[in-house]
Chains A and B, each alone.
Chain A
Amino acid sequence: MTGILFLEQLLNGLGFGLMLFLLAAGLTLVFGIMDVLNLAHGSLFMSGAYVAAQAHQQSGSFVAAIALAVLVTVVVAALLEVLLMRQLYKRDHLAQVLATFGVILVADDLVKMIWGPSPVMAPTPAALSGPIEIIDGLPYPAYRLVILGAGVLVALALYLLVNHTRVGMRVRAGASDRPMAELMGVHVGRIFNGVFLLGAALAALAGALMGPIVAVQVGMGEQILIPALVVLVIGGIGSVRGAFVAALLVGLVDTIGRAFLPMLLRATLPPATAADLGPLFAEVAMYALMVVVLIFRPSGLFSART
């Protein structure tokens, strides 16, 4: 029984971790290459979730909804890049935090204007609404399995793109030493445009996929942004591999904090104390992980920069 529960939670943790990876991959490349801290990355996630929810409700096609969500968000990101991000390259992190926090405020109000203040229903695709028995005695929601599969596929594709193609080589070169890469003839600015839009597409995909599981509401971008930043910092800035390892680690630690630590507490402590501490450990686990990692490796696990 506990074995099955463990497996189920493990899958949940992996799913969450993979979605975090989709967010953190774009974030870490943008940060690694252009040294731009983009707090508005969560807003792109929100855009993906809202557009997908609406398109799915109206068209009934989940795949079309996801495609539209990615397309719309990439267009929005392109606008954002032209209008704002370009002006921020040469600014310090503080100005970037300020401006992109401003974008968050604008984005939240725009979403409120378009879709209203209350959460929007994001339906689970009908064909995937039931559970699938993976092994005997473990029925697992089919939709979550699809998320897992999609996350693995995208992570794999991204890994191949970054580590085994010429374009990826340029991206890595830009992330680890921008001036040197430019000297060697890499158009880092152009590479960045591509990376920024790819990051936006990944964020939108994560938003569209997560929509049916989490509440699609104003402020959802800010909620997911912080765990994504935690992933980026644990993994080491600029490293896609680091983001991947850190995302899975954070996903698992978060799940362990949510599912198993409370169980352990209930078994060992008085019920009232356990009931108080359980939720605390659940929320704090990933931040504690980050602090511990930073104490031993102040620039993350796989920092692309030395």
Chain B
Amino acid sequence: MKKSVVIPTLVLLVALAAFPLVAPLFGMEFYIGFVRRVLIMALAAASLNFILGFGGMVALGHAGFIGVGAYTVVAFADAGVMSAWVLWPMAALVAGLVAALIGTVALRTRGVYFIMTTLAFAQMLYFIAVSLRKYGGDDGYTLPARPELGRGIDLANESTFYWVVLVLVALALGWMHRATRSRFGHALMGIRDNETRMRALGYPVFRIQLVAFAIAGAVAGLAGALLAGGNGFISPGAMHWTQSATLVVMVVIGGLGRSWGGPVGAAVWLLLEEVLKQYSEYWHLPLGLLLIAVALWAPKGLAALSRRKKAVTA
């Protein structure tokens, strides 16, 4: 990591960690839950950016993996298992396996066919969730309680749960950042930029893409587990294709293939949503116009703006 990035990152982490302590002073307790949701969606968006931005795979079904993670938690909780040490790793594992299976088929196709195949699989996952009457079907499922971490950590406490989410998200983001800087990450970006050349160089293109796809699925599954734990509720709505599209939107707004792309995009999108909702019931319209504007005039996303400025001044 470059030195210039370390200090702002640490400042941001400290600020985020201090938020639950500071918020009550300003009567903003409500926003602890909101910032937690932003953190979780930042994780989900970053996992999509891993394959979309760094891997060049335009997957339009990422919300499906969030759902698999969330419903894994539901299935275990329904069976009486409430330990987070089981729930969260299992959510990531199951979502990762499902992603690997889907990737095996989807990665045989290219371009729009890949977009559509990932979408088709996500639709199937969505309808599986709808048909799970044991877990509430269309109406969704209310978890009996927050997962338990033991060791004196009480996740039912909003601030404690927030901090646990913050630590997990920070670790996962840091790990994914390192993965993109590793040999594996460079190979992935090489495939994005020129697949034929990488194949000619002897790289196992399919395997690299599949591993990346599975990792992204697993991280999205973890995000789903945290989402379910935080809200205490999950419904198939979280897996609707418009949710997958929203994740793509977040990544593109934030910045494709940039470490901060996912988090920045998720934060900007959710903040705008929250603010606009307070002013008008027609809050989709300005968001839609913003999307069109970004697509036309800032295709590299917000995270690229700072760099462009630097390039101009240099």
- Distance, CA A221 to CA B291, complexed state (A): 19
Minimum C-beta distance from A177 to chain B (A): 17
Q: Are A97 and B248 in contact (CB under 8 A)?
A: yes
- Distance, CA A64 to CA B281, complexed state (A): 33
Q: Are A93 and B292 in contact (CB under 8 A)?
A: no
For window 115-170 of A, CB contacts with B under 8 Å fall at none
Please name all residues of chain B whose beta carbon is closer than 8 Å to the beta carbon of A105 when the two chains form the complex.
Answer: 284-285, 287-288, 291
Q: Which residue from A95, A113, A233, A298 sits with its C-beta under 8 Å from B108?
A: A298
Closest chain B residue to A107, Cβ basis: B288
Closest chain A residue to B297, Cβ basis: A87
Q: Are B291 and A99 in contact (CB under 8 A)?
A: yes
B123-134 Cβ-contact flags toward A at 8 Å (1 or 0): 110011011110
B115-141 Cβ-contact flags toward A at 8 Å (1 or 0): 111011101100110111100000000
Q: Are A113 and B282 in contact (CB under 8 A)?
A: yes
B247-260 Cβ-contact flags toward A at 8 Å (1 or 0): 01100100010000
Check if B58 is an interface residue, CB within 8 A of chain A.
yes
Minimum C-beta distance from A297 to chain B (A): 10
Q: Which residue from B58, B120, B296 sits with its C-beta under 8 Å from A291?
A: B120
- Distance, CA A23 to CA B287, complexed state (A): 26
For window 10-62 of A, CB contacts with B under 8 Å fall at 31, 37, 39
Check if B144 is an interface residue, CB within 8 A of chain A.
no
Please name all residues of chain A whose beta carbon is closer than 8 Å to the beta carbon of B31 when the two chains form the complex.
Answer: none
Q: Are B123 and A287 in contact (CB under 8 A)?
A: yes
Please name all residues of chain B whose beta carbon is closer than 8 Å to the beta carbon of A75 when the two chains form the complex.
Answer: none
Give the number of residue pairs across the A-B interface with Cβ within 8 Å: 133
Q: Are A94 and B131 in contact (CB under 8 A)?
A: no
- Given contacts A94-B248, A101-B249, A280-B131, whether A109 and B116 have CB atoms under 8 Å apart is no
Q: Are B289 and A106 in contact (CB under 8 A)?
A: yes
Closest chain A residue to B294, Cβ basis: A98
Check if B271 is an interface residue, CB within 8 A of chain A.
no
Majority-rule SS of B interface residues: helix
- Distance, CA A306 to CA B26, complexed state (A): 63
Please name all residues of chain B whose beta carbon is closer than 8 Å to the beta carbon of A78 when the two chains form the complex.
Answer: none
Please name all residues of chain A whose beta carbon is closer than 8 Å to the beta carbon of B285 when the two chains form the complex.
Answer: 105-106, 109-110
Q: Are A106 and B113 in contact (CB under 8 A)?
A: no
Check if A269 is an interface residue, CB within 8 A of chain B.
no
Check if B205 is an interface residue, CB within 8 A of chain A.
no
Q: Are A280 and B127 in contact (CB under 8 A)?
A: yes
- Given contacts A37-B112, A102-B295, whether A291 and B121 have CB atoms under 8 Å apart is yes
Closest chain A residue to B58, Cβ basis: A94
Check if B231 is an interface residue, CB within 8 A of chain A.
no
Check if A279 is an interface residue, CB within 8 A of chain B.
yes
For window 253-306 of A, CB contacts with B under 8 Å fall at 275-277, 279-280, 283-284, 287-288, 290-291, 294-295, 298-300
- Given contacts A98-B252, A290-B116, whether A226 and B123 have CB atoms under 8 Å apart is yes
Check if A229 is an interface residue, CB within 8 A of chain B.
yes
Minimum C-beta distance from A208 to chain B (A): 24
Minimum C-beta distance from A195 to chain B (A): 18
Q: Are B113 and A294 in contact (CB under 8 A)?
A: yes
Q: Are B117 and A294 in contact (CB under 8 A)?
A: yes
Q: Are B296 and A87 in contact (CB under 8 A)?
A: yes
Please name all residues of chain B whose beta carbon is closer than 8 Å to the beta carbon of A275 when the two chains form the complex.
Answer: 133
Minimum C-beta distance from B226 to chain A (A): 26
Q: Are A283 and B130 in contact (CB under 8 A)?
A: yes
B85-115 Cβ-contact flags toward A at 8 Å (1 or 0): 0000000000000000000010011111101
Please name all residues of chain B whose beta carbon is closer than 8 Å to the beta carbon of A298 when the two chains form the complex.
Answer: 108-110, 113
Check if B60 is an interface residue, CB within 8 A of chain A.
yes
Please name all residues of chain A whose beta carbon is closer than 8 Å to the beta carbon of B127 when the two chains form the complex.
Answer: 279-280, 283-284
Q: Are B58 and A93 in contact (CB under 8 A)?
A: yes
Q: Are A109 and B112 in contact (CB under 8 A)?
A: no
Query: Which of A87, A91, A106, A277 has the most B CB atoms < 10 Å from its CB?
Result: A106
Closest chain A residue to B290, Cβ basis: A102
Closest chain B residue to A92, Cβ basis: B299
Minimum C-beta distance from A148 to chain B (A): 27
Minimum C-beta distance from A9 to chain B (A): 20
Interface residues of A (CB under 8 A from B): 31, 37, 39, 84, 87-88, 91, 93-99, 101-110, 112-113, 222, 226, 229-230, 233, 237, 275-277, 279-280, 283-284, 287-288, 290-291, 294-295, 298-300
- List 15 additional contacts besides A91-B295, A276-B131, A283-B130; criterion CB under 8 Å: A39-B245, A88-B295, A91-B299, A99-B296, A101-B248, A102-B289, A103-B288, A105-B291, A106-B285, A112-B281, A233-B113, A283-B127, A287-B121, A294-B105, A298-B113
In the A-B complex, list the 3 residue pairs whose CB atoms are closest, starting with the nearest: A102-B291, A105-B288, A99-B295
Chosen A-B contacts, 25 in total, with CB atoms closer than 8 Å, are A91-B299, A93-B112, A94-B52, A94-B248, A97-B248, A98-B291, A99-B291, A101-B249, A102-B287, A102-B295, A105-B285, A107-B288, A222-B242, A229-B119, A230-B120, A237-B112, A276-B131, A276-B132, A276-B133, A283-B130, A283-B131, A290-B117, A291-B121, A295-B108, A298-B113
